[in-house]
Structure 1
Amino acid sequence: MKHKILNLSPDSYQANFIHTQERDWAETNCYVDIWIELLHALKKDPRAALSYTLAIDFEGDQWTFFKFPLNDLKDLYGLDVQELAVWRPVVDHVEEQVALGRPVLVELDSFFLPDTVGMAYQLAHVKSTVAVTAIDKQEKRLGYFHGQSYYELSGDDFDKVFHLDRDYDDAILPPYVEIVKIRKGYEPSDSKMLEIVKQQLIGQLNWLPLQNPFTEYQKRLQADLDWLMSEDMQMFHDYSFATLRQLGACYELSTHFIDWLIENGETSLDGIRAEFKSISELAKVYQFQLARAMSRKKQLDLSTIEKMAEHWDKAMSGLKAKYLQ
């Protein structure tokens, strides 16, 4: 391609092990998944930046849509993420920024992303964030991270994803776009990296929910059950994505964060890791139970939420005892 930041090919790209090992949750959310792969491709370990997964909360009708805090990425990896003002065609912004060596995170329509074949490609208009690292506007080719790997699109998909196949339409709002400015030579030592991570961890522990979030979630789910049992399975997918999948995938990432701490010399964390893993596993099983209950229009046992609450209490108590003394 004319402009590329990394020398990658979809055929040979090897995804980060978070996305290749046996997992409870194959995907997290589009923003987190592309950052895992972008960091991996930049030769940086994404697990070091996962302390933010500890402080998610139940937000009334959904769990926190968790994301990497941008300041954490700057402190750990020297990556300065800035919002881009879109004042000309999006494709022109993407081309210029990639030519400057800056990955571009841009919202695109999955209807034109061939890596979503069988899910959204040519089937449904779904907004999703990708990280573009290669582009050739003349040849109509785009290289991007999405989901769990690196992909390319070309031809008609290129035209349609950037709305080049139609005249300007002010009803099509510009997407949210971020650029990633890479600070060359920014490589903290292992000891400095651990120090930064521990400070970020302490910051997250100081912002834990004041009450066990599973208690509030159980109340809301109890209130929603009669309504849910009258809905179709599409509502199950929407409801589950905002609740069980978010919390389950997030706390599974918490186990990877604990693994990084252990690998970097932190001790007495195995039990805490097991608590987060239990939440992830229970959420996955409970998602199936919710689907079965909605399909059969039967009531759902809420005791599993109470078990998750117990695991949360034990994990957070252990972390606070170790790092907030």
Structure 2
Amino acid sequence: MHQVLDLTPESYQRHTIHLQERDWAETNCYVDVWIEQLHALGLDPMASMAFSVTPDFEGDQWTFFKFQLNDLYDLYGLEVQELVIWKTLLDNVEQQVKLNRPVLVELDSMFLPDTAGTAYQREHVKSTVSVNKIDRENKILGYFHAQGYYELTGTDFIEAFALPEANNQLTLAPYVEFVKLDGIKKLSKDSLRSKSEVILARQLSQLPKANPFEKFRHQFERDFAWLLEQPIETFHEYAFVTFRQFGACFELAANYLNWLAPEKYSTIAEQFSGISSATKVYQFQLARALNRKKMVDLNAIDNMAEMWLKAIEKLKKMVHSE
């Protein structure tokens, strides 16, 4: 058995962001797993969330927002590298964990017990987990996923790694990263905030050139007619890559700015929170409208566009004036 941190699902205490009541209980698999992985390492994940202020509409989806690897290095001294799967998935993952390195790997939620009630034993859904513990002999995997730390065993272990006796076989190796902890550093809160403000200024250079909500509104108006003819499953997929992405991202942006300097950025954080909460309500309204085969009001997206513009203009002035 090999493990990076001495943890159990019963004793693990989740990060506060996954304990509080939120518009979006989960963000996306990559962000959620990094929040818990950093937290478990004794690092504050809030410092590395400047990426959350610059999502864009990418034409057919919103930005799949993620922690930036250069920020993880600058703030915490973590070096993240891609792991080439040239043996078996189990062999390569086990070797890195043996070297005291967490491994972020895409596994099938069909075999992740923490997704019970959604994907577990129901459907094949790719999701990123961070492997902390691996016991090949007893077929136990300890992993971070979504809002916490979990374990899977037995048949789930066999199927998740597509072992020879599994019914599920990998046709292509998943994307895998490993984290080198050799240079890990734990800065003071003041140092983290100072470094994070520098990162925020750098991140603002990646702001969308045009208001992303205006671009999205035009596309969504066309997409709605198409969605009316699609099964409800298609709507859920569409909502995940659009409303869920920007709603959760701007809620995270509000959390980040309130962590960074609440007295300074509170009004901007309120605008981002307003986008998040309005998006959650609008997504429910959209589902009902599709069920009734009726057009949905687009004014809500116009309001989001206005909130975004006010927040971004003020944020740019405040950051670049220093």
Q: 1:299 aligns with which of 284, 295, 301?
A: 295
Q: Write the mapping of 1:226-305 to structure 2, written as runs, cut at 5 A.
A: 226-262=225-261, 267-305=263-301
Q: Which residue of 1 aligns with 2:214?
A: 215
Change (3 A) 1:25 1:185: closer
1:243-273 CA-partner distances (Å, limit 9, x unpaired):
000000000000111121126xxx4311111
Distance in 2 separating the partners of 1:171 and 1:230? 34
**Contact 2:23/2:251 (<8 A) preserved:** yes
1:288-309 CA-partner distances (Å, limit 9, x unpaired):
0110111110010000001111
Q: Secondary structure at the match of 1:260?
A: helix
Q: Secondary structure at the match of 1:214?
A: helix
Distance in 2 separating the partners of 1:92 and 1:280? 42
Aligned length, in residue pairs: 321
Indicate the RMSD between aligned Cα atoms, in angstroms.
Answer: 1.6
Q: Secondary structure at the match of 2:163?
A: coil
> Where do 5+ consecutive residues of structure 1 fail to align?
none
Q: Secondary structure at the match of 1:298?
A: coil
| Aligned-pair CA distance for 1:203 | 1.1
Distance in 2 separating the partners of 1:20 and 1:185? 26
Distance in 1 separating the partners of 2:108 and 2:118? 12
Distance in 1 separating the partners of 2:27 and 2:2? 29
Q: Which amino acid is the alignment partner of residue 312 of structure 2?
A: M
Q: Which residue of 1 aligns with 2:311?
A: 315
Q: Which residue of 1 aligns with 2:119?
A: 120
Q: Write the mapping of 1:76-155 to structure 2, written as runs, cut at 5 A.
A: 76-155=75-154
Q: Secondary structure at the match of 2:297?
A: coil
**Contact 1:51/1:200 (<8 A) preserved:** yes
1:119-167 CA-partner distances (Å, limit 9, x unpaired):
1111101111100000111111100011111000111111111111448
| Aligned-pair CA distance for 1:191 | 3.9
Q: Secondary structure at the match of 1:153?
A: strand
Q: Secondary structure at the match of 1:205?
A: helix
Distance in 1 separating the partners of 2:272 and 2:96? 39
1:61-109 CA-partner distances (Å, limit 9, x unpaired):
1100111010000101111000011100111111111111100001111
**Contact 1:113/1:121 (<8 A) preserved:** yes
| TM-score for the superposition, normalised by structure 2 | 0.96
Distance in 2 separating the partners of 1:298 and 1:134? 50
Q: Does 1:15 align with 2:14?
A: yes
Distance in 2 separating the partners of 1:242 and 1:168? 30
1:272-325 CA-partner distances (Å, limit 9, x unpaired):
110000000011001001101111100100000011111111111111111112
Change (3 A) 1:231 1:96: same
Q: Which amino acid is the alignment partner of residue 48 of structure 2?
A: A
**Contact 2:159/2:167 (<8 A) preserved:** no
| TM-score for the superposition, normalised by structure 1 | 0.95
Q: Which amino acid is the alignment partner of residue 106 of structure 2?
A: E
Q: Which amino acid is the alignment partner of residue 280 of structure 2?
A: K
| Aligned-pair CA distance for 1:14 | 1.4
| Aligned-pair CA distance for 1:169 | 9.9
Q: Which amino acid is the alignment partner of residue 90 of structure 2?
A: V
**Contact 1:24/1:280 (<8 A) preserved:** yes
